[in-house]
């Protein structure tokens, strides 16, 4: 299912590149040109994300006991870096045009084409983020955020071009492009930072950690056992919980094992797509 949505994202990127490129050629606007450049980044990023999804979906093997889920983080990091590069190019082009403003041709046609492209990206961005959060796919979420950034880019450009058409102030076109470039720098930074945090095995978010603690509290209430602070990590869509359970010394191996199985099952219900590893040791 995830691959299908990435293919839709690639198709949307191709459509928007075409619309925005025509708008840039027809009008001569650096704003439309910068917008088309970002859509080009979207296309390359979507292809990278598709490859990452194929890699992440591979099952565990002899060399990767915990699977390949972290491939998605590399995809998000690459996408963030590409956004950053696109932003630098946009800013550089805008500064040059601020120094030497140029008149625009047929802005109405450009506005219509770019507006249609924005609607395509808006629909895809919302869809990818919704599906990505539901399926816990950082690749889809990152691509969705990238598309929403593109929507804001286009909106800013549309406002700038409309103002140019009304006022005749041609310098507004590159000024808007400059502001858009600065804005998407922050999006690229956020994606790269989030990917690095996950690649460094950050613990689960607070809401997931609270679910883990709730399960352990329930077992503490029902049984005479204690737990060391649990350790958690996230690898793509898979979450891992490591628990040390301190049981009464007189318990048999069988009983301790049964409790560990029950704990793993309970954690699996509380945290879908998670694996729990329980180490049992006698209480001191």
Residue 237 has pLDDT above 70, yes or no: no
Residue 265 has what pLDDT? 94
Question: What confidence score (pLDDT) does residue 91 get?
Answer: 87
Burial zone of 19 (CB within 10 Å; 0-12 exposed, 13-18 middle, 19+ buried): buried
Rounded mean pLDDT, 43-63: 76
Between 62 and 265, the more confident residue is: 265
Residues ≥6 apart with Cβ < 8 Å to 56: 67, 68, 69, 70, 71, 72, 139, 236, 237
| Mean residue pLDDT across the chain | 84
Name the range with the highest mean pLDDT among 69-73, 95-99, 157-161, 229-233.
229-233
More reliable by pLDDT, 105 or 71 = 105
Higher pLDDT, 243 or 105: 243
State residue 117's pLDDT score: 92
Between 138-167 and 107-135, two packed helices, what is the crossing angle to 10 degrees? Answer: 160
Mean per-residue pLDDT for 176-184?
80
Q: Report which listed range, 76-90, 145-159, 266-280, is most confident.
A: 266-280
pLDDT over 70 percentage in the chain: 94
Higher pLDDT, 87 or 79: 87
pLDDT of residue 243 exceeding 80, the answer is: yes
- Which pLDDT tens digit goes with each residue over 118-154? 999 999 999 999 988 888 777 788 778 878 878 887 8
Lookup result for tokens 């301190």: 246
Domains and CATH numbers, the chain: 1-200 (1.20.1510), 206-282 (3.30.70.1350)
Mind listing the pLDDT tens digit for each residue in 185-206? 887 787 777 777 667 767 888 9
DSSP state letter for 63: S
pLDDT of amino acid 236 = 64
Which is it for strands 226-227 and 238-247: parallel, antiparallel or unpaired? antiparallel
pTM above 0.85, yes or no: no
């Amino acid at each position: 299912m995830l691959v299908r949505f990435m293919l839709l994202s690639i198709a949307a990127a191709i459509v928007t590149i075409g619309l925005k490129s025509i708008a840039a050629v027809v009008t001569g606007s650096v704003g439309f040109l910068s917008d088309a450049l970002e859509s080009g980044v979207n296309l390359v990023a979507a292809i990278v994300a598709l490859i990452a999804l194929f890699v992440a979906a591979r099952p565990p093997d002899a060399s990767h006991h915990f699977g390949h889920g972290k491939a998605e983080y590399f995809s998000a990091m690459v996408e963030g870096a590409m956004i950053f590069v696109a932003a630098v190019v946009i800013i550089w082009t805008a500064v040059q045009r601020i120094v030497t403003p140029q008149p625009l041709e047929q802005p109405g046609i450009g506005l219509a084409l770019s507006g249609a492209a924005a609607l395509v990206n808006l629909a895809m961005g919302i869809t990818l983020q919704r599906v990505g959060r539901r399926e816990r796919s950082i690749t889809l979420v990152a691509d969705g955020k990238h598309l929403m950034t593109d929507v804001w880019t286009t909106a800013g450009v549309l406002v700038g071009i409309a103002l140019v058409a009304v006022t005749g102030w041609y310098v507004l076109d590159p000024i808007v492009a400059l502001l858009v470039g600065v804005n998407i720098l922050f999006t690229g930074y956020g994606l790269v930072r989030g990917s690095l945090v996950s690649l460094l095995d950050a613990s689960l978010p607070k809401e997931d950690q609270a679910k883990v603690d709730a399960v352990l509290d329930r077992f503490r209430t029902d049984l005479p056992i204690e737990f060391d602070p649990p350790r958690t990590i996230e690898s793509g869509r898979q979450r891992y919980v490591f628990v040390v359970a301190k049981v009464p010394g007189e318990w048999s191996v069988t009983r301790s094992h049964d409790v560990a199985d029950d704990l793993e099952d309970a954690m699996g219900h509380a945290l879908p797509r998670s694996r729990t590893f329980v180490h049992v040791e006698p209480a001191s």
